[in-house]
Structure 1
Amino acid sequence: MALGACDHRPAVPFLSDLAQRSLDATTVYAALGDSIVRLRGAEEGTPAPVRWCLDSGTWSLADGALRAVAMLRSVPDPETVDHILDVLEPLDPYDGLRFWAAAAAAGWPGERVRAFLETCAAGPRQDVAEAASLSMEGKYRTYGLL
């Protein structure tokens, strides 16, 4: 995560390789997803690394990617937003993967985003509901790096 926060772009190949390995510590994947989106996003834009992480099948990697989107207050293109929602909508309302998307969506336009946020705000997880409520008001919360 420090490599991403410090904008150390030469680390991208190493981080991408590490993200594809089998690791016991799932929190490492979250840090990798966050860093990969920050570093690749600076060169390629946010959509490619976000999709790469979401499509990896490693939920902690996807969680880290969505965390970076929220922390950077990134507004992905409509196709990427649809892709994110396609991944998240079928998940159980208790699934924590919804949190960072709900937190990030404050700046995302569209009825589908609004419907997602309303579902999250009415859901059983207080953290997700609070993030979604703030996003529906167009407000971002400030989150620390760790």
Structure 2
Amino acid sequence: MNKLLCTTENRALNEIVAQLGDKKSPKRRSAAKKLRKLKDVDAGPHLLAALEAELKDVRTWETQYQMIMAIGECGYKPALPFINKLAKQDFEATMVYVAIGDAIVRLSIEKERDAAPIFKLLDTGNEMLIDGALRAMAMLKMVPSDSHIEKIINYVAARELNQGIHFWVVAAAPGWSGAKVEEYLDYCAKSPREEITSAVALARKNKYKKWSPL
């Protein structure tokens, strides 16, 4: 039975991987989305090869975004040097940077509390890379050390309450504790953005929500 299941799963994976080579970008994008959900590291080499080809056409940035996200969520670490190079390139569609930041964090962390990749991206000053990094932190339910949490909060607390950068930090906060965290949540509770105040309410209850980002 296990062998049959494994064969069926392999066949399904192969079919999706084959779709990465479709002539139509929406089909390739659909395949990347499916591979994001599967989170199968075996899809990594195929996704990386598909991404390298996809990057030749600036018009297909949405597909590029999904392929980068899939590489990150599949945990294909050999792609990290390539993704790091992409972070330094110019993209007209800045949403691509969000996927890059997300993937870099996922592929760089060595342990659950490892916030070092996040700080490297904070240092770039690229708001979209930073947004992706903070989003990965929230999606992975990371609980950095107290000193690292304080540094992250200090970085975003200087921003105005209507800025979206607060959202993913608050979304990551249900597993965090301490006076600094409570102070930051009190600050964000005054935000005019409903998604931020809703995330604050969850954080105060120590409840994570299953977010579904693009």
> Which structure's relative contact order is higher, taking Cα pairs within 8 Å and 6+ residues apart?
1
2:58 corresponding residue in structure 1: none
2:106 corresponding residue in structure 1: 38
Q: Which amino acid in the other structure matches residue 91 of structure 1?
A: R
2:78 corresponding residue in structure 1: 10
CA deviation digits over 1:39-70, x for unaligned, max 9? 10146963111101111101111111111111
> Unmatched 5+ residue regions in structure 1?
none
Q: Which amino acid in the other structure matches residue 72 of structure 1?
A: L
| 1:145 Cα deviation from its structure 2 partner | 4.9
TM-aligned CA distance change 1:11 to 1:44, over 3 Å: farther
Query: Looking at CA atoms only, which structure, 1 or 2, has the larger radius of gyration?
Result: 2
Q: 1:79 aligns with which of 133, 147, 159?
A: 147
Residue 117 (1) aligns with residue 199 (2): no
> Unmatched 5+ residue regions in structure 2?
1-68
User: 1:99 touches 1:131 (CA, 8 Å); kept in 2?
Assistant: yes
TM-score, normalised by the number of residues in structure 1: 0.94
2:199 corresponding residue in structure 1: 131
| 1:7 Cα deviation from its structure 2 partner | 0.5
CA deviation digits over 1:82-130, x for unaligned, max 9? 1211210110111100000010011111111111111112211111111
Percent identity among equivalent residues? 41
Q: How many residues in Structure 1 have an aligned counterpart in Structure 2?
A: 146
TM-score, normalised by the number of residues in structure 2: 0.65
2:89 corresponding residue in structure 1: 21
Hey, which bits of structure 1, 4+ residues long, moved more than 2 A? 42-46
Quote the RMSD (CA, aligned, Å): 1.5
User: 2:143 touches 2:176 (CA, 8 Å); kept in 1?
Assistant: yes
